[in-house]
Chains A and B, each alone.
Chain A
Amino acid sequence: MTPPQGLLCGVLLLIALMVYTFWPVKVFASQREKPRLEYLLERREQLDESLRDLDFDFRAGKFAEAEFQVQRAQLENETAQMLAEIEQLRQALRLAGNDER
């Protein structure tokens, strides 16, 4: 490939990439802030996993019954608080939806 041919190929590449980059699109992803509800749902998923790990470790003999009960109660308590907040937020969302309608 001679230098002029190379430059011609380069210019063609430039045009193709500019068209791709600046082609006016009508649909694109929103850059919204992550809502608290979404964060809580993620956290809840993590707590579910921790509860499952705790149960499994207990059955595998890593905890005494008393230790297991204390730790499970702590995790369940945390999960319950989180579920309450999730429910509150969902209710608020439902109310907001009704108001808009």
Chain B
Amino acid sequence: MAAFGSFALLLALALAAYNLLAGSLALRLIATGQPTVGSPERLAETARRAGIAGFAAVTAAAFALVWSVFANDFSITYIAEHSNRALPAIYKFSALWSGQEGSLLLWAWLLGAFGFVLRLRHKQDPKLYAYAGAILAGIQVFFLAVLNFAAPPFALLPDFVAGGFIPADGNGLNPLLQYPEMVIHPPLLYLGYVGFSVPFAFALGALMMRYPGEKWIKITRRWTMVTWLFLTAGIFLGMHWAYAVLGWGGYWGWDPVENASLMPWLTGTAFLHSVMMQEKKGMMKNWNVWLIFSTFLLTLLGTMLTRGGLVSSVHAFAASSIGYWFMAFMVIVLAVCIFTYILQRGHLQSEEHLESMVSRESSFLFGTLVLLAACFVILWGTLFPILSEFVGGNKIEVGAPFYNGVAVPIGLFLLLLAGVGPLLPWRGVSLGRVRRNFVLPLIVLEITAAVCLGVGVRPWKDGLFDQSSFFALVAFALSAGVLTALVSEFLRGARVVAKQSGRNLAWAKLQLIRRNPRRYGGYIVHIGVVMVAVGLAGAAFNRSVEGEMALHDKIYLGSYTLECAGFTADSNANYNSEYALLDVSKGGRKLFQMAPEKRVYLASEQPQTMVAIHSVPGWDLYVVYEGADPSTGQPIIKAFLNPLVSWIWAGALLMTLGTLVALAPGQKPAARKRFADTPATEEVFQP
């Protein structure tokens, strides 16, 4: 299979290179109108087909790697290093992205899959699709070149090449990855990263060909939203994985690789909002082009940070020299973007201008500025260790206090805008009119702040100002205000529909979403964001206790009592494990038992914590078995009481639901359908 896989990868590279060169040549010939021997459109068609064939070749390579993992072919270095015989079947799939070579192959395969769909739909606008297809082929050439020459997934073990020796078993999968969410978290994140290649290719293509109008935004709208959804789901799954596996009681540590996924999410979110202004009013064209260019570059940076070995991180599973390949590619991409922009910037003049500061447009503008500011701060913090080492020779790490000090206020401002934006109409409105819509949210905000102060959420502790409690108080009050604003916006719309149709309010709400799923799906996403903000604010009140526990020893945390009911051990072909059995009671009544676990994987001999979590809407009881104290032999238990964590996961689900609603096609008015049906393409018949 190694020979077949390597050959398929080489073939895929050749096809991608042909797609790029023939596609570019055909577009050049069509643009200049030079007389040619054959039809340049026929050449463009072979380029398009090469892109589709390239996807088949990469699929064959990916299939060969998965097949080899399942066949336990330890003559292949990658498989010997990332799998073993006892590895459960579901994690054998994870081996595809657990190492550098495999994850790059996944990148290339996903890019091929996106390109495949795009090339099948080319009749929507053949010329624009041809430009986008050639740009995607350029990106694919890079990834396949890395796979063929710098990080080959089918490289054979040196011992096997020298003497035919094949190890009896592999090193096994990294224990951190042997967790159910890890089967879907990396592919989702990669779908998000790779997906941004598509709007990037369309934006760059549209700029290169001076595409008239904003139809490219309409074409890529769903791509961008689906991509954003994948990235969002991937980030939240990663947070949940960190929470459930790493055992430190938190879900976000401002790790460089976490930051790497957050940065394109921030610029992608900015793009999703800002591009609406271009679509509706032909505004912000320069801004949008650079937002999507930056987003794509940040996805490359994210891949480089994860796989290039530039930063130390719990997530950077493979360190190597491919960082230089990525750096070179990023420089090339940036150069192409700058060159195209300089050449075609005249095409990006706004058709309209900002009419009022009190408008939906201005709220989008502020929102995108704030998102960009957040992205810049995170980028600075992430790259600072590398820059400080480069300049001064000392690596200065930037920790959570830096990020929290800047990102939390920015996040709170964004939360405010999530509520303000929907209340403002497009084009602008007088302040007096808009004030009316803000009265109720402001009252709710003030009442919530008062209630929070009343129940003990106060911005001071022992007479001193406490920043985290202050931020939490602001977050709770703002969340209540924003939620009221969003719900009242829903109700206002539903009342109009109810009045028009004479039906009840519940039917009207559903009808409202059906009529404009994009707008109201977006509001559902905003409600999800509010829930996430409430959950994050809860972290200000986390409590923990740690202690050695002999049989029947007790520890107390909040209203819970944890009593040690015993210890036990287990083993299977993949790992040995030790459990602590803890009876949890409240007010003297036994409620449930928790079993935090520590595993030692046999193939890699690496330990792994399996946290026990009991989750209710108000808080999580989170218990870690840290192993035995070497001096006393007593097991050490660390327990956390983390308020409102489940709100984060519920908010993430709501964000997913909202995006799915926004993706749904809206009801089309009859008058509009006539224009939508206008054919965009024609076919050329040649004998």
Contacts and interface: CB of A to CB of B under 8 A. Distances in A.
A83 B125 CA distance: 24
A66 to B, nearest CB: 9
A10 B3 CA distance: 8
B475 interface: no
Contact of A32 (B52, B214, B424, B682): B682
A60 B671 CA distance: 23
B7 A6 contact: yes
B11 A25 contact: no
A100 interface: no
Contact of A21 (B49, B123, B426, B672): B49
Interface residues of B, number: 69
Nearest to A11: B7
Interface in B36-75: 40-42, 44-46, 49-50, 52-53, 56-57, 60
Interface string A5-25: 111011101100110111101
A60 B125 CA distance: 37
B15 A13 contact: no
B46 A31 contact: no
Contacts of A49: 280, 672
B126 A45 contact: no
A28 B684 contact: yes
A60 B496 contact: yes
Interface string A30-54: 1111101011011111101110111
B492 interface: yes
Contact of B211 (A18, A34, A36, A41): A34
A62 B213 CA distance: 29
A69 interface: no
Majority SS of interface residues in chain B? helix
Contact of A6 (B1, B53, B424, B686): B1
Contacts of B543: none
B425 interface: yes
A21 B669 contact: no
A71 B52 contact: no
B162 interface: no
Nearest to B218: A42
A3 interface: yes
B11 to A, nearest CB: 6
B3 A3 contact: yes
Contacts of B127: 31-34
A29 interface: yes
B430 interface: yes
Interface string A68-79: 000100000000
Contacts of A18: 53
A31 B426 contact: no
B680 interface: yes
Interface in B1-29: 1-5, 7-8, 11, 15, 18, 26-27
A52 B434 CA distance: 20
Interface in B408-446: 423-427, 429-430, 433-434, 436-437
A14 B54 CA distance: 10
B681 interface: yes
A46 B670 CA distance: 15
Contacts of B5: 6
Given A21-B50, A21-B53, A42-B214, A6 B433 contact: no
A79 to B, nearest CB: 12
Nearest to A17: B53
Nearest to A9: B4
B681 A29 contact: yes
Contact of B672 (A4, A13, A28, A45): A45
Contact of A45 (B1, B41, B676): B676
Given A29-B123, A41-B675, A63-B425, A7 B42 contact: no
Contacts of A9: 4
A4 to B, nearest CB: 8
A23 B429 CA distance: 60
B125 to A, nearest CB: 7
Contacts of A54: 425-427
Q: Which residue, of A7, A28, A31, has the highest number of chain B Cβ atoms within 10 A?
A: A31
A41 B425 contact: no
A28 B4 contact: no
A7 B686 contact: no
B395 interface: no
Contacts of A57: 425-426
A26 interface: yes
B629 interface: no
B681 A20 contact: no
Given A39-B213, A48-B671, A71-B427, A20 B3 contact: no
Interface in B648-686: 669, 671-672, 675-676, 678, 680-686
B215 interface: yes
Nearest to B499: A59
A30 B684 contact: yes
Nearest to A25: B45
A10 B4 contact: yes
A30 to B, nearest CB: 5
B392 interface: no
B3 A25 contact: no
A97 to B, nearest CB: 15
A21 to B, nearest CB: 5
B433 A42 contact: no
A64 interface: yes
Contact of A62 (B1, B15, B212, B433): B433
Contacts of B56: 13, 17
A28 B683 contact: yes
B134 to A, nearest CB: 12
Q: Which residue, of B425, B671, B680, has the highest number of chain A Cβ atoms within 10 A?
A: B425
20 contacts: A1-B4, A3-B3, A6-B5, A7-B7, A17-B53, A17-B57, A25-B42, A28-B45, A29-B41, A30-B41, A31-B40, A33-B127, A34-B213, A41-B678, A46-B214, A46-B280, A49-B672, A57-B425, A57-B426, A71-B427
Interface of A: 1, 3-7, 9-11, 13-14, 17-18, 20-23, 25-34, 36, 38-39, 41-46, 48-50, 52-54, 56-57, 59-64, 67, 71
Interface of B: 1-5, 7-8, 11, 15, 18, 26-27, 30, 40-42, 44-46, 49-50, 52-53, 56-57, 60, 122-123, 125-127, 130, 211-215, 279-280, 423-427, 429-430, 433-434, 436-437, 492-493, 495-496, 499, 669, 671-672, 675-676, 678, 680-687
Given A28-B683, A29-B126, A41-B678, 6 more contacts: A22-B49, A28-B686, A30-B41, A41-B675, A42-B675, A61-B437
